[in-house]
Amino acid sequence: MTKKLRFGIVGCGVIGPFHAQAITSLPDAELVAVADIILERAQELAETFQVTPYSDFQEMLAREQLDVVDICTPSGLHRVQQETGMKMAVISQHRFDPDTVKVHELIEEQAFGRLVLGNALVPWWRSQTYYESGEWRGTWKLDGGGVLMNQSIHSIDLVQWLMGPVKSVIAYTDTLVHRMQTEDVAVAVLRFTNGALGTIAATTGAYPGTGTRVEIYGDKGSAVIEDDHLSYLHLARDDGEGVSPYGATREQRAPSSPGGPSAAQNPAALAIRSHALQIEDMMRAIRENGTPLVDGYAAKHPVEIILGIYESARTHKEVTLS
Ligand SMILES: NC(=O)c1ccc[n+]([C@@H]2O[C@H](COP(=O)([O-])OP(=O)(O)OC[C@H]3O[C@@H](n4cnc5c(N)ncnc54)[C@H](O)[C@@H]3O)[C@@H](O)[C@H]2O)c1
């Protein structure tokens, strides 16, 4: 029987319990300890999952012989993979959503033809109370940015993963609704290295908040992913006679392929599913001495796009990414 990998979590705030659930849903993973500088938070989570609580993560590392450390502390406290010999994965769980993986495979098969346009829309709501719930939220130093760096990074990652690398950006950002250092609204125009164009529009000031949308358009197909669900897919290769020179009729615009399962069927399972899939990918990398799909280098791409957007908004100039 395969030995279970021993996990410890550092940071037991909002997302820590979610990771605990994802880890414990995997048969080959074992959560053994959790740590938080606020001991009561560690104790509460430890009690739920019957593991050992620590207030000092160094002590947890020294005592628990962990195979995997799952870091759920404020973003600015994370450190990037160097020459440590350790493997690192950055959580980008939507890359593991089965519908998104399907679109990625179709793009690799050239099923969309020439890619022309890739858009990400993140019209979310976060209250002022949310930003005041942790001193790090909405700060340059520890959140690294606002709606782009915190809430939209996954959608930006998907657009660049699906469309290909971004060559340059032009953008506006502003802070219109909240008392915070960083932006709560942003729009950016992207030029991809393959010549396609794209947009990012994001805010945490859109009450009450609606779903995320990632749109991929090519001259042989279109796909729309709403949250983690493929709501529209239409490929020329599935059409008998094709569409008229003026495009599809209303009837022809019906999706040629139904989307995946709805979150309504089992919201809790779907909520942790993609995290669990990414944790499994990390376990595979450890067992096979391979590389996780989203290692530190892969995770830099959306960060570089966002930093380019900040620079463009500050300088009012197009920014070319290196
Ligand atoms: N992938 C996603 O969808 C997703 C969703 C939410 C949050 N996140 C990310 O998860 C991270 C945590 O976010 P959150 O909302 O849970 O924050 P949070 O403020 O609710 O929780 C952070 C916890 O870390 C603890 N902490 C701080 N320094 C520590 C240290 N040195 N040792 C041990 N514990 C320490 C704090 O006491 C707190 O309990 C952030 O990077 C955030 O961007 C990702």
Report pLDDT digits (tens) over 77-125. 877 766 677 899 999 999 999 999 999 999 999 999 999 999 999 999 9
Model pLDDT for residues 35-59, shown as the tens digit of each residue: 999 999 999 999 999 999 999 999 9
Give the whole-angstrom CA distance, residue 36 versus residue 86: 22
Please, which pLDDT band fits residue 1 given cuts at 50, 70 and 90? low
CA 144 centroid distance within chain: 15
Q: How many angstroms is it from 132 CA to the middle of ligand 1?
A: 14
Give the whole-angstrom CA distance, residue 54 versus residue 159: 39
Give the whole-angstrom CA distance, residue 94 versus residue 101: 9
> Is the Cβ–Cβ distance between 76 and 143 less than 8 Å?
yes
Give the whole-angstrom CA distance, residue 68 versus residue 286: 9
Give the whole-angstrom CA distance, residue 33 versus residue 42: 9
Helix (H) or strand (E) segment spanning residue 170? strand 166-174
CA 272 centroid distance within chain: 13
Give the whole-angstrom CA distance, residue 31 versus residue 212: 31
Model pLDDT for residues 276-287, shown as the tens digit of each residue: 999 999 999 999
| Cβ atoms < 10 Å from Cβ of 295 | 16
What is the longest distance spanned by two Cα atoms in the chain?
68
Q: What percent of the chain has pLDDT over 70?
A: 93
Residue 254: CB partners within 8 Å, gap ≥ 6? none
Report whether pLDDT(265) > 70.
Answer: no
Q: How many angstroms is it from 35 CA to the middle of ligand 1?
A: 11
Sort strands 185-192 and 115-123 into parallel, antiparallel or unpaired. Answer: unpaired
Please, which pLDDT band fits residue 245 given cuts at 50, 70 and 90? confident
Please, which pLDDT band fits residue 161 given cuts at 50, 70 and 90? very high
Q: How many angstroms is it from 73 CA to the middle of ligand 1?
A: 3
Helix orientation angle between 39-49 and 16-24, rounded to the nearest 10 degrees: 20
Ligand 1 atom nearest the C-alpha of 38 is 37
Which amino acids bring their CB within 6 angstroms of ligand 1? 10-16, 35-38, 41, 57, 72-75, 77, 91, 93, 134, 150
3-class SS letters over 64-107: HCCCEEEECCCHHHCCCCCCCCCCCCCCCHHHHCHHHHHHHHHH
Ligand 1 atom nearest the C-alpha of 136 is 19
Q: Is 60 exposed, middle or buried (0-12, 13-18, 19+ CB in 10 A)?
A: buried
Task: Name the pTM for this structure.
Answer: 0.93
Q: Could you tell me the end-to-end alpha-carbon distance of the chain, in angstroms, rounded to an integer?
A: 47
